[in-house]
Amino acid sequence: MYLETKELFLSFTDTHLSPSLHVLELQDVCFTIQKDGAPHHLVDRASLKIPRGHFMAIVGPSGCGKTTLLKTIAGLNAESAGSLWWNGRNLSEEGDLEPWEIGYVPQFSIAYDQLTVDESVETATKLRVKTKNVEDLDHRIDHVLEKTGLATLADRPVNVLSGGQMRRLGLAMELVSDPHLLLCDEVTSGLDPRSERDIVHLLHDLSRKEGRIVLSVTHSLAHLELYDSILVLHEGKVTYHGPPEGLAHYFSVENTELVYPKLAKQGAEKWRLAWLKHNEAYYQKMVQNRDRMVNEGKIELPSLERSQPVENNEEVEPQSDEVEVKAAPIQSPGFFSQFYTLLSRRWRIFFRDRGQVILQLAILLCFPLLVTLFSEKANANMRKFSEATSDRIEAKIKESAAVRQDQLKVGSAVSGMIMFQVVLLSLMGSNNAAREIAGERLILEKEKFGGVRPLAYLASKVTFLTILVLIQSLWMAYFVDFFWPFPEGDGGLARHATFLIMVNAAMTAICLGISSLMRTAEQASLLSVYLVGFQLPLSGAVLALPGHIETFTRPFISAYWAWSGSVKSLSGEHFSAVKTVIETTLSSANICLFVLGIHILVGLLASWIGISRHQWD
């Protein structure tokens, strides 16, 4: 029975819808997950065909698979079975749509609060479209702002926009590449009735231009008359796909609000089989409505794709040798263009975030001041044994004790100052990067979907953080040196500053890797704080660790390598003083630099893995 009804459905749609108009087609598409050890179909054998210039609503009860189906069409979910076709191309075998061909407006905001509407659209354009010149860029931005009704709000900050205005901005940022397929996920959710109506009207208008397909997931059953077709899902199965005016009649209800309660009265599989039996009349009505609107000029299609005028209710197929018009593909910007755009945006956001700027300034001023509290003890003179001989043993013992006491006092202060600098810069590194990627994970995933290269994104982050690391580390080194001049030894202050830069860079890179691997900013921040917290006790700078523990922990403790290398850079007198108060074995400066370099590379590798990995959900 199933095979018969399926063949009937396919034969009908093949007859009544010209292949040239079948831009998007789903053939028995499934998306399956494992739940409690058994397969669970979130999308179950979904089949439908959607022509150009079509506006379709995807509705159904909560948890019925609406968003899952939309993500499967977008390529964010790999279908478990079946196939998706676009313009006669099998996306399941030949790859996803090009980034410029498709736009996806998710439920979450894809704009930064610190930017204006115009800046948000400009950035989206630069990241997705290779424009010819500044005039071309400005024209594209102005056109999109005008089309979405945001032209008068161009200079308004994102954080003061209303819910409806935010939805319009999300649409504008997707329209910069003139996508042929626009997918919208709950863009009317949470809006007041007027804003909801305005957004639905906007989506309707967008579907009438340039043969664009617009698919909109919605919980609302209002304004259904504006859609060309309604797709009703129930437990991942298609239970209806036809014109809105046929919805109430098909489910035998007085109004569309009663459709969901009616769905719950029988199993989803029965609804699906019932639809396969009765879909012919509804599809025929949908096709007739579409042909009428095309011929009346209400839907704009490429001229060669229009049907001939319909006379006496007879359908005339388009000419077979003129069935497809391909628009010139939009070129994506290159690596350096995306890198510069991302880096410029990051600096703009940084300077407009007053809280972050104040925090960075406070850290730059307060942390070095904390270190200088120990400078008086570190600057104390160390007495030496007198060259004069003395016959009194008691005097020699007292002099030896005084020298020893001075060495302990100065050595402890010097070692503490160096470790304090190292730990504070590790904390700065954690603050720099712990939330850098995790805090904008969803925007990153959306921009990767739109064509942003992961390497360009990582390079922009590394460049931004490198500048912070250099400013923080050099300021720490030279500010403290003003109060406690670093003794000239093996490289002196320059070598010490190098180790401060390296430990800050190592901790920044590692925390950036954590940030890219974690799913939330809270997880990344918590793990980064723990990582910094273990630096001091496991470094061995305060108390030497047992040998069997030290062997396993030392390779992972950045603070040890920076502290050890800096101590090795001290002059002979100060180095001897520090040696009197520590029991931890020190490594050579070159080995310390090498290990810190390894830490940086490991952090960057983890960052690359996390950025490249798909983490939309």
Q: Domains of the chain: which residue ranges?
A: 2-117+177-302, 335-384+392-612
User: pLDDT at position 434, please?
Assistant: 93
Looking at 353-453, list the stretches that DSSP marks H as alpha helix, in order from N- to C-terminal side.
Answer: 354-372, 375-378, 393-433, 441-449
User: pLDDT at position 402, please?
Assistant: 55
- Give me the chain's average pLDDT, please: 85
User: pLDDT at position 103, please?
Assistant: 94
End-to-end CA distance of the chain: 38
Architecture of domain 2-117+177-302: 3-Layer(aba) Sandwich (3.40)
**Measured between alpha carbons, how far is 209 from 298 in angstroms, rounded to an integer?**
9
**Measured between alpha carbons, how far is 108 from 186 in angstroms, rounded to an integer?**
9
User: pLDDT at position 381, please?
Assistant: 62
User: pLDDT at position 11, please?
Assistant: 40
**Measured between alpha carbons, how far is 422 from 477 in angstroms, rounded to an integer?**
10
394 against 536, higher pLDDT: 536
The residues with which 86 forms a beta bridge, in sequence order, are 24, 89
Least confident of 21-25, 243-247, 368-372: 21-25
Q: Which two tokens stand for residue 173?
A: 């940022």
Rounded to whole angstroms, what are the CA distances from 252 to 122, 209, 244, 260, 262? 49, 34, 14, 12, 9
Element (H, E) at 467: helix 454-483
- How large a percentage of the chain has pLDDT more than 70? 87
Contacts of 566 (CB under 8 A, 6+ apart): 418, 422, 495, 496, 499, 500
Phi, psi of 38 (to 5 degrees): -125, 150
Contacts of 321 (CB under 8 A, 6+ apart): none
Using the predicted structure, report yes or no on whether residue 164 has a pLDDT greater than 80. Answer: yes
Tokens 């954080």: give the residue: 159
Strand duo 89-90 + 102-105: pairing: unpaired
User: pLDDT at position 305, please?
Assistant: 47
Using the predicted structure, report yes or no on whether residue 172 has a pLDDT greater than 90. Answer: yes
Type of residue found at 348: R
197 dihedral zone (left: phi>0; alpha: psi -120 to 50; beta) = alpha
Rounded to whole angstroms, what are the CA distances from 396 to 380, 386, 401? 22, 9, 9
User: pLDDT at position 399, please?
Assistant: 52
**Confidence band, pLDDT 50/70/90 cuts, at residue 395:** low
Contacts of 498 (CB under 8 A, 6+ apart): 491, 593
CA dihedral 106, 435, 457, 173 (to 10 degrees): 30
**Measured between alpha carbons, how far is 44 from 317 in angstroms, rounded to an integer?**
32
**Confidence band, pLDDT 50/70/90 cuts, at residue 389:** very low
User: pLDDT at position 397, please?
Assistant: 58
User: pLDDT at position 546, please?
Assistant: 78
**Measured between alpha carbons, how far is 340 from 220 in angstroms, rounded to an integer?**
41
- How large a percentage of the chain has pLDDT more than 90? 54
**Confidence band, pLDDT 50/70/90 cuts, at residue 390:** low
38 against 574, higher pLDDT: 38
Q: Report the 3 state secondary structure along 139-198.
A: HHHHHHHHHCCCHHHCCCEHHHCCHHHHHHHHHHHHHCCCCCEEEEECCCCCCCHHHHHH
Using the predicted structure, report yes or no on whether residue 15 has a pLDDT greater than 70. Answer: no
Phi, psi of 35 (to 5 degrees): -135, 120
**Measured between alpha carbons, how far is 465 from 471 in angstroms, rounded to an integer?**
10
91 against 118, higher pLDDT: 118
pTM recorded for the entire structure: 0.86
Contacts of 97 (CB under 8 A, 6+ apart): 75, 86, 91, 181
Least confident of 311-315, 425-429, 471-475: 311-315
